[in-house]
Amino acid sequence: MSPLLLSLYIIGATFIILFTGIPIAFGLALVSTAFFIGIEGIGRLPLVAEQLFNGLQDFGIVTIPMFLLMGIAIAASPAGKDLYSALDRWLNRVPGGLVLSNLGACAIFAALCGSSPATCAAIGKMGIPEMRKRGYSDELSTGTIAAGGTLGILIPPSITMIIYGISTGTSIGRLFIAGIFPGLMLTGLFMLWAFVFVRFSQGRGREKVAVETYTWKQRIEILPKILPFIFLVIGVLYVLYGGFATPNEASAVGALFAMILVAIVYKMYKPKYFWDIFSETMIESVMLLLIIAASSLFAFVLSNLYVTQSIAKELVAIASNKWLLMVYINVFLIVAGFFLPPVASILMTAPILYPIIVAAGFDPIWFGVVVTINMEIGLIHPPVGLNIFVIQGIAPDIKLSKILWGCLPYALLMIVQIIILCAFPQIATWLPSYVMK
């Protein structure tokens, strides 16, 4: 059988098996094992357990539970609420100020935690009811939080980037730094759109927004509550980029300080509270790490059966120039996002795409940022957009269609951001090469 035909069989089988609703980790491992043994013989069976184990023998994986712990500890506290109301008190006079506050709060929270749904939930729980109360439309309120939440995986720390780094062997530290400017830029694009939209629709009488007034005293008095967390963000970034520590070390220090801060600022120090945080961290980490283990088996089998190489060769042959190739890859990733959550998407496609990217002369760090923005789009488009479901959980009375309409402009802005990054790759590549010479 030709490797290309075999790859079609494998892709088909993977989708059929995953569509049964089997946990992705088990599904991937089952498909890999079946094809491996079927083609190479039963003698290769011992490799299954060995490869699953080897998939976890990368010191980079330690950042996953650490950054999860940091995010979960902060998300369990009222820090999200304070962050958001502080920004609101400072931005209340700007048109669409509350929307901008929410986006800003999402961006800052994203820097404290590496997960999109967590960012979405932490800010959205307060933000959505408040925006609706003050007269913003359901579409704008929900779309803003869903999209703002996706910043969680672009602005460092980012679990998605860690996983990209592990599966392609690129530096996690560099990936993190590369995400900073595009993350800020995307936040800026989101804010610009919200500002223009509210301005425009206010004129036509659509968004009748109530503006709260705050005294300077109110503005100042909330700062002590959020400053420690801002310092935490700056501290982790400084430790990471000042060359003092590796991402692994920075993640551990970040997690430790996040827990100490939450305990001091919010007086949350009961053992039960800590156990719950660790328990939640365990669940999320185990889920992610098991998929990492399974996809390392998957990638190993694909490569052993020469599937990865033949798909790569074929893709390069189809695309006549490298930018056309980039368009194909992006479309492919967006389509993959229709079916797979970001982690699975990256782990399954990165081993195939990485050699193609490098061969075509693209910067793998830059590509990591592009992939991440792509995954962000996947988080807010149906049918598996995780953030959409988080929003539905927060505001069950808002129709799904309204949430989707609210997300659409933001998804388009993300595509714009990808195009900007293609035109000016330096936005992503300059800072890492400057900081880490």
Distance CA 133, CA 84 (A): 15
Q: In the structure encoding, which two tokens stand for residue 363, read together?
A: 């910067």
- The Cα–Cα gap between 187 and 189 comes to 5
Query: Both tokens of residue 364?
Result: 């793998």
Compare residues 47 and 74 and give the one whose CB is closer to other proteins. Answer: 47
- Please answer whether residues 137 and 181 qualify as being in contact, where contact means their C-beta atoms are separated by less than 8 angstroms: no
In the complex with other proteins, the residue whose CB is nearer, 65 or 406, is: 65
Nearer to other proteins, 47 or 126 (CB): 47
CA angle 101, 103, 105 (to 5 degrees): 65
Instruction: Tell me which residue of 67, 130, 79 sits closest to 105, measured CA to CA.
Output: 79
Instruction: Specify the residue, 361 or 383, whose C-beta has the smaller distance to other proteins.
Output: 383
Shortest distance, CB of residue 29 to other proteins, whole angstroms? 5
Closer residue to other proteins (CB): 33 or 141: 33
Task: Give me the least distance between CB of 177 and other proteins, in Å please.
Answer: 20
Compute the least distance from the CB of residue 21 to other proteins, in Å: 4
Query: Is-contact 262 76, C-beta < 8 A?
Result: yes
**Can you read off the two tokens belonging to residue 114?**
């590496």
What's the distance, Cα to Cα, between the start and end of the chain in Å?
47
Distance CA 142, CA 387 (A): 10
Name which of 20 and 320 has its Cβ closer to other proteins. Answer: 20
In whole angstroms, the minimum distance from the beta carbon of 126 to other proteins comes to: 24
The amino acid occupying position 343 is: V
- Smallest gap from residue 291 Cβ to other proteins (A): 7
Amino acid code (one letter) for 110: A
> Distance between CA atoms of 108 and 87, rounded to whole angstroms?
10
Peptide bond into 95 cis (omega under 30): no
Nearest distance, CB of residue 273 and other proteins, angstroms: 11
- The answer to whether residues 84 and 123 touch, using CB atoms and an 8 Å cutoff, is yes
Q: Which is nearer to other proteins, 25 or 226 (CB)?
A: 25
- Closest contact distance (angstroms) between CB of 394 and other proteins is 19
Residue at 115: amino acid letter: S
127 neighbors 141 (Cβ within 8 angstroms): yes
Shortest gap between Cβ of 246 and other proteins (angstroms)? 9
Q: Which is nearer to other proteins, 73 or 194 (CB)?
A: 73
How far CA 24 is from CA of 6, 21, 45, 256, in Å, comes to 21, 8, 21, 31
Decide whether 91 or 294 has the Cβ nearer to other proteins: 294
Cα-trace Rg, the chain: 22
Nearer CB in complex with other proteins: 212/276: 276
Q: How far is the CB of 250 from other proteins (least distance, A)?
A: 9
Contact set with other proteins (CB under 8 A): 17-27, 29-30, 33, 45-50, 52-53, 56-59, 61-62, 65-66, 69, 244-245, 248-249, 251-253, 255-256, 275-276, 278-279, 281-287, 289-291, 293, 338-341, 343-344, 383-384
Q: How far is CA 196 from CA 173, 190, 203, 317, in A?
A: 35, 10, 11, 44
Residue 114's nearest CA partner among 52, 55, 179, 171 is 179
CB of 287 to other proteins, least distance (A): 6
**CB 94, CB 47: distance < 8 Å:** no
Measure the CA–CA gap between 120 and 150, rounded to whole angstroms: 7
